[in-house]
Amino acid sequence: MKTPANQPSRMLNTGDSIPQLGIGVFKVDDDECERVVLEALEVGYRHIDTAMIYRNEAAVGRAIAHSGIPREELFVTTKLWNADQGADATAGGLATSLELLGLEYVDLYLIHWPAPLRDVYVETWLALEELYATGVTKAIGVSNFEPAHLERILEAGSVVPAINQVELHPAFQQRTLRAFQEPLGILTEAWGPLGQGKYDLAEIAGLGEIAQAHGKSIQQVVLRWHLQEGVIVFPKTVRKQRMIENLSVFDWELSDEEMVLMKSMDADRRVGTHPEDGNW
């Protein structure tokens, strides 16, 4: 895919480019999701992050179809749900997602959780490798994988995941995981990049001052920090004004000093499920 000229991108280990900022649609109802994605595309987003379990892939597909934007100008990610893991079920999981999305391929297909109590993520990864070889997904990766989970699929498989999508925000920066995966060529995607609204970003000492110094919102500062960290983000919002705000982070920069200060805001504060516990 071609990232728009005014937007930053990262190069995946497949050689393809991914727009570094997109829109996420977790907890956006199917009813509302078509409008949300259409508005996001109208204001310039070209990267959409959905999942089978969000139950809105059909709405994402309708928005893509109605937008009239050529398929090759979009980057679409979806994820395999836990119940569809395993050597036999995985291909059906992607086939269902493609049908709902109305697409012939996705740009990135992720194993949503390792679900270690099911313990079939290694077989599932090998099934993803086969799907990748057929071209129905242009890249494959994982989500919520800890180093121990990554080690097992690296050992058994022959493709290095392009992405690991994990919880990551100023109070939970995942430094250990990133130091493990990034030298292997696995890029980091942040879910909950704004902390999912589960804590007040304004309460983090120093963030308000940085925002004021740049004349930006605290959310814009956090998104800009992710970009300068090399992390890929897709903040979720259903409001067009916030879509524009969240996309307006490309033409200004945080200083080295501000980046160092933000690094010190890490508080090991997880707001979501621990990967070992995501066994639904």
Ligand X SMILES: NC(=O)c1ccc[n+]([C@@H]2O[C@H](COP(=O)([O-])OP(=O)(O)OC[C@H]3O[C@@H](n4cnc5c(N)ncnc54)[C@H](OP(=O)(O)O)[C@@H]3O)[C@@H](O)[C@H]2O)c1
Q: How far apart are CA 126 and CA 123, in angstroms?
A: 5
Of residues 174 through 193, those in contact with ligand X by CB under 6 A are: 191-193
Instruction: Mention every residue, 6+ apart, whose C-beta is less than 8 A from residue 133.
Output: none
Question: Three-class SS of residue 158?
Answer: coil
| Residue number, 155 or 200, with CB nearest to ligand X | 200
Counting residues that bind ligand X (by CB under 6 A) gives: 26
Binding pattern to ligand X, positions 44-63, x when CB under 6 A? Answer: -----x--------------
- Of the candidate residues 1, 7, 24, 111, the single one contacting ligand X (CB under 6 A): 24
- Of the candidate residues 10, 62, 149, 236, the single one contacting ligand X (CB under 6 A): 236
Active-site residue, from 54, 105, 121, 132: 54
Q: Strands of the chain (E only): list them.
A: 9-11, 17-19, 23-24, 47-49, 75-80, 108-111, 140-143, 163-167, 187-191, 232-233
- Of the candidate residues 195, 207, 224, 249, the single one contacting ligand X (CB under 6 A): 195
| Residue number, 88 or 161, with CB nearest to ligand X | 161
Q: Is the dihedral of CA 134, 118, 145, 2 positive or negative?
A: positive
Q: Is residue 54 flagged as an active site residue?
A: yes
DSSP 265: T
CB burial readout 206-225, b (16+ within 10 A) else e: ebeebbeebebbbbbbbbbb
230 sits near ligand X (criterion: CB under 6 A): no
- Of the candidate residues 20, 56, 165, 174, the single one contacting ligand X (CB under 6 A): 165
39 sits near ligand X (criterion: CB under 6 A): no
Residues that bind ligand X (CB under 6 A): 24-26, 49, 112, 143-144, 165, 191-197, 217, 219, 234-239, 242, 245-246
